[in-house]
A and B are shown apart, each in its own frame.
Chain A
Amino acid sequence: MSRLEGPSGGRRRVLQVKFVPDDEVLKHIADDTGIKVRKDKPQPSINLKRFVKKLENISDDEAQEILQEKNYVATLGICAQDPMGNGTGVSGGEVYSFQTPKRSSKMAELASELAHTPERSVSLDHSKGPDKTAKTPQSSNLFLLLMHVFSLQSKKKEFVSTTPYRLRKRLAAPDSYLESESEYSASCSEEEDEEDQQEVSTVLSGQKTPAKTKAAPTHPPRNSLAKKNKEEKMSNPVEEYFEAHSSSKVLTSDRTLQKLQKRRLNQETLHDLLKKVPLAYAAEIKELNQQHESLFSKWMLQLHLGFNIVLYGLGSKHDLLEKFRTSLLQDSVHLVVNGYFPSITVRSILNSITEEVLDHIGTFRSPLDQLEFITKRFKEDSSLKLYVLIHNLDSQMLRGERSQQILAQLSSLPTVYLIASIDHINAPLMWDQAKLSLYNWLWYETTTFSPYVEETSYENSLLVQQSGSLALSSLTHVLRSLTPNARGIFRLLAQYQLEKKDNASYPGLSFQDFYQQCREAFLVNSDLTLRAQLTEFRDHKLIRTKRGADGVEYLLIPVDDSTLTSFLENQDEDV
């Protein structure tokens, strides 16, 4: 709440009143807002006159006018207090302030009541962002603002009937000034008009047509600029943080990629497409790389003097390191570790050292033992030199504390030369003082701007496009090799999971229930057969089991719903 108490008194007033909404009036207004606003807008001066006369009997129309004027006043009052003419920013802030949870739920309710389309519940939080959607949320915000102003009004009129008059006087003079100065509110009201039209004809469906989205771009830059201003104003990052995390509920538009009529790209087509795109600024990037390459001999010297080298900066450093390797390390023993590879572990790194560099056959009980062995060998034989190149030292698999400790100890050996690259913004947090001193880093900034082709190709987490087809094909593939009974079992589970897909906290199907269902479908005859079957699934990573809080085993297919649906469809076709 304290955040809302800005410097402007007007704003505070608005906020105070907000807590006493007059539901009846609100609803009343809500019914005919759409048309009224448009009607009133063109002649504010006439409205003013009329208003003076009919102060006592305020009809719905007047209420609407007042509401609109108040809306101006709200922005105006801020304009007046802000001689810099930054009214746009502040009004943005005011709108923004609606986001506190208590009201935002109400807002959403009201807004949806008004708009009758689910899309309306979009918060303005989102409007800050992508230009395309800016239009919709803003207008709905304006509605919200209107509602509030009106509720203020409705309260005011109970006791001070002269207030509007005073307000209007203030309003009258700077009206034109307001138009030019406060772009935000101006554009808002324009948009409001559009919005109203849309609403009356209920054009809006859940999905925007491409034509419409292309029409939009004339407005957004301005709006986003205004928002920018505002962002700069509250430059305190701490505040921004809490701003972003204050509301437990984050509102964004409900659009999903599925509704977007575009086929999902898989990895290969993605690659092909990207190949067609010429690399932007190739010349400059090349120049950058050449700069970095001129440092190679220096790196070599420093590596030999006991330092280790870490590269940071935007862009893939894979090629750079590769070039370093081919140009300087051709004749020496070196080990390249692709940290971005999803199944890399410290153990595999150590194994490759012991097996391939030291020609040691045998296993070790723990990585620590292995490390000790390596240390001993390297200390005994000082002619043994090893260059270790690690791409993405900060990757998922290697960023753990223990693996870093082991790598640090490895790198601290005088004849092991480590050169690594990091990309993650928080990568330096991996290391504490002790590890840093073991690593003995020298930092080099190598911003290459080259795309992370290798590094990102293993990431299937990027929900956008990739994994879907792959998972589906592997599902069908595995299932095809199973017995009909097993297929049936899996189907049961999949169907059950799809039924429960709306339940966010769905833990999975408990084993007992599943057994019951399978028995009813004559798929298994005993507990044991089901278990055997499930083990097979688990081995193929088709299902996942986990124990709930009550000790019951829950089964879950770790595939997203859409893939599962299409899988079932496929199955039906097959059958």
Chain B
Amino acid sequence: QKVQEDLNKQLLDNLVSFFSRSHSEFQEKTTEWTCRMKFKEIPTAALVLGVNVTDHDLTFRSLSDFLQNNITPYIAFLEAKDCPGIKNLMQKLMGQLMNCYIDVDSLEDEDYVQVSQNRIRCSMSSLVKWYESVTKQTNSETPSKKRTFSSTHWQSPPVVVIFKDMESFTTKVLQDFVVISSQHIHELPLVLIFGIATSPMIIHRLLPHSVSSLLCIELFQSLSIKDHLSTIIDKLLLTGQFPFKLGGKVLQVLINIFLYHDFSVQNFIKGFQLSIVEHFYSQPLSVLCCQLVDLQKRVNSLSHDQCENIRRLPSFRRYVEKQESGKQVALLTTDNFLKEETQKLLEDLHVYHENYVLVLRCLYVFTSSLPKYPLGKQIRELHCACLENQVWETEEYESSLQLARMLNKSDLVTMLQQCVEILLSSSRKEFDNTVEKLKKFLTQFQNLEAEAFQEQDVSVSSQKEFQKKTDLYHLQKTLLELKESRRSKKLTKFEMLRFEVVDYIDSLVRKYLVPADHRTLHEILYFNTAAVLRGHLNAAPRTALHTALNNPHWYLKNQALKCDGGSISNKAPDICIVYKLHLECGRLINLVDWLEAFSTVVMAGEEPNAETASSDQMDDIIHARFIRAVSELELLGFIKPSKQKTDHVARLTWGGC
């Protein structure tokens, strides 16, 4: 569990650093640009952040932190849900600014702040007054007391107001606020920041021209969310730092949720966290999912039961079957031998992963520049493909190799150089050979270049010779010959080399990009139950309800409920019968008819000899059951009482789905 905590922390750090990096450029701009504040216009920054609303929180937090540290202590952070009216907005604004103030110089002035907070009427003028007094104080105090922030802050630091979700503010409030604050811009250096999720057009839609002309808007575009995702994947999955890994299907599910549902990096991370939790919770052997350093210790402390667990892993069984019989017996009977073997295998797995990542990057270098991207534009797609199955057996891989065989030389050379760099970046010795080989290729290419250059010279000179001759027929003939020979000769040399390179890459891929499922003991490090994850993150409550109602057998494993599709079984639970009957109806349902239909269905199942004597009582019971079922359906939202006609209910769903 500890490992996981570390992971989470790292994750957040990554994110924050990433965000602040992506925003630092804005901040620099902002500072410059607030300097040239215009007369009567409020400088405004519009941040276009994209639709992943949930991630904005982090962004803004890092932004305000940054501003706080570097530019101004006066930051107010407004959210639409807190500000239904202009009054609330002002209150909130005042409160936040005052609190800011307390934070900055908490040593004194408590009473002063108290006074101002007690003031019920929060108006702009009071704000201005407050601001003046504060700046005066700081101005007078800064020389005497060296504050940490004073060096970076100016004489009159601007007051920054951040509107977190501009779209959800009511128009009126925004307009009023802008107009009011533009009146006071002389006394109060105000800077607004709008967070925008859709498009910058929204400003003009929300604010009429007369208002928006009071603003001096500059637009900033944040990085696209996809880039965020790739960075995160890069940092989390394609490193050897963390022992925990995601299986192909799980990753696919997470990425799908991201791309098709919410575009939220936060949710992606949530999914990642959940898969970690799930892995550690459900896999008893996840103790071994740790850094290499601890591995020795943990393997040695394995109990007998845990050893049995290892023996039960399917991948381990496959491994055992491949061994010769003596070793098989040893593996299956002696715990100590098993432990040694396990440790070796796990170490292998770690090594495998590191190699995998490196080769994956190399392959990505090749495939990412191919036309039409047969293996995907992003490295994550490539990664998924490689995890899923043996990548070299897929058609896409075939076609991408075909395309790679047609690359021109300069591209090939740069790619090879990139590969060499990537491989050199790792500290492992295993790739020394490979690097050598690649370098050899490079020199060969260079040689080839030189040769080709010479040859060209030759051919050019020979052509000049031809020009002297005037015999047209001869000229043609020799030219043809020349062409043929040149093509066959020169192209073979280059092509051969190119083939060699591609084949070599291919062999690398085959050697290192074996899907993780094929490795022994992969269950320990790789989390692969995608269904669970999907169930928890992307649940389908409607489907569950419909299945339960249409096909109770799915849940209640009773033979009597095996339904034959379509017809109404009288043995089903009451609510299922009522539900099925209601499916047959139109918009309005007559309760009497419904009840009668219900009792027919129910009675059909009961023995007919229950004669009139008990039938009255029977009727009552059926009636009661019907009432219960109907009110349950109402609770579930399938029907609602209708006033259109007496004793009718309206149906709220349609179709047989």
Q: A residues touching B (Cβ–Cβ < 8 Å)?
A: 125-126, 128-133, 213, 216-217, 220-221, 224-225, 227-228, 231-232, 235, 237, 240-241, 244-245, 250, 252-260, 262, 265, 269-270, 273-274, 276-277, 280-281, 284-285, 287-288, 298, 301-302, 305, 307, 312-315, 368, 405, 422-428, 433-434, 436-437, 440, 442-445, 447, 449, 451-452, 455-456, 459, 461-465
Contact = CB atoms under 8 A, between A and B. Distances in A.
Contact of A257 (B555, B561, B592): B592
> 6 tightest CB-CB pairs across the interface, nearest first?
A443-B539, A130-B597, A314-B548, A437-B54, A130-B593, A273-B624
A22 B574 CA distance: 49
B529 to A, nearest CB: 14
Contacts of A244: 586-587, 651, 654
Interface in B275-290: 277, 281
25 contacts: A126-B593, A130-B581, A213-B600, A217-B604, A227-B584, A231-B656, A235-B656, A250-B644, A252-B588, A255-B590, A260-B592, A270-B628, A302-B277, A368-B82, A423-B636, A423-B637, A425-B542, A440-B270, A443-B536, A445-B544, A449-B548, A449-B573, A459-B631, A462-B641, A464-B630
A265 B620 contact: yes
Contacts of B656: 231-232, 235, 240
Interface residues on B, range: 35 or more
Given A237-B655, A250-B586, A273-B621, 14 more contacts: A129-B586, A130-B581, A227-B584, A253-B592, A265-B627, A273-B624, A298-B281, A307-B274, A312-B544, A425-B636, A433-B54, A434-B165, A443-B538, A462-B627
B593 A132 contact: yes
A68 to B, nearest CB: 29
Nearest to B604: A217
B436 interface: no
A221 B594 CA distance: 15
Given A232-B656, A255-B593, A288-B556, A128 B584 contact: yes
**Residue of A126, A274, A314 with most chain B CB atoms under a 10 A cut-off:** A314
Contacts of B595: 260
Nearest to A366: B88
Nearest to B637: A424
Nearest to A450: B573
B267 A437 contact: yes
B301 interface: no
Contacts of A240: 654-656
B623 interface: yes
B541 A313 contact: yes
B478 to A, nearest CB: 72
Given A312-B544, A445-B544, A255 B270 contact: no
Nearest to B55: A437
A213 B656 CA distance: 27
B376 interface: no
A67 B388 CA distance: 67
B153 to A, nearest CB: 28
B277 A462 contact: no
Contacts of A277: 621, 624-625
A228 B566 contact: yes
A23 to B, nearest CB: 29
Contact of B593 (A235, A253, A288, A434): A253
A464 B597 CA distance: 16
B107 interface: no
B556 A281 contact: yes
Interface in B596-612: 596-597, 600-601, 604
B596 A213 contact: yes
A463 B593 CA distance: 15
B657 interface: yes
Contact of B586 (A125, A235, A313, A447): A125
A41 B161 CA distance: 87
B636 to A, nearest CB: 6
B105 interface: no
B567 interface: yes
Contacts of A298: 281
Contact of B624 (A125, A237, A270): A270
Nearest to B277: A305
A125 B281 CA distance: 54
Interface in B234-285: 262, 264, 266-267, 270, 273-274, 277, 281
Given A274-B625, A463-B641, A405 B542 contact: no
Given A255-B590, A425-B637, A131 B600 contact: yes
A316 to B, nearest CB: 9
A463 B641 CA distance: 7
Interface of B: 53-54, 81-82, 165, 262, 264, 266-267, 270, 273-274, 277, 281, 535-539, 541-542, 544-545, 548-549, 552, 555-558, 561, 566-567, 571, 573-575, 581-582, 584-597, 600-601, 604, 619-621, 623-625, 627-628, 630-632, 634-638, 641, 644-649, 651, 653-657
B584 A257 contact: no
A256 B632 contact: no
Contacts of B586: 125-126, 128-129, 244, 250, 252
B560 to A, nearest CB: 8
Contacts of A433: 53-54, 262, 264
Contacts of B644: 250
A449 B587 contact: no
**Residue of A129, A424, A452 with most chain B CB atoms under a 10 A cut-off:** A129
A456 B54 contact: no
Contacts of A368: 82
A279 B82 CA distance: 49
Nearest to A131: B597
A463 B536 contact: no
A456 B567 contact: no
Given A129-B584, A424-B635, A449 B270 contact: no
B587 A250 contact: yes
A434 B54 contact: yes
A256 B82 CA distance: 50
Contacts of B573: 280-281, 449
A442 B273 CA distance: 12
A427 B625 contact: no
A447 B574 CA distance: 15
Contacts of B545: 312-314, 425
A261 to B, nearest CB: 11
A452 B545 CA distance: 14
A130 B635 CA distance: 22
A256 B646 contact: yes
A462 B630 contact: yes
A326 B539 CA distance: 27
A74 B516 CA distance: 65
A314 B620 contact: no
B635 A434 contact: no
B228 to A, nearest CB: 15
Contact of A444 (B262, B536, B651, B655): B536
Given A131-B600, A277-B625, A313-B544, A256 B647 contact: yes
A452 B635 contact: yes
Contacts of A314: 544-545, 548-549, 555, 575, 636
Nearest to A281: B556
A462 B631 contact: yes
A224 B593 CA distance: 14
A260 B592 CA distance: 8
Nearest to B276: A305
A228 to B, nearest CB: 5
Given A252-B590, A257-B647, A277-B624, A456 B632 contact: yes
Contact of A445 (B535, B552, B619, B655): B535
Contacts of B53: 433-434, 437
Contacts of B645: 252, 254
A536 B489 CA distance: 110
A307 B538 CA distance: 14
B52 to A, nearest CB: 8
A328 to B, nearest CB: 16
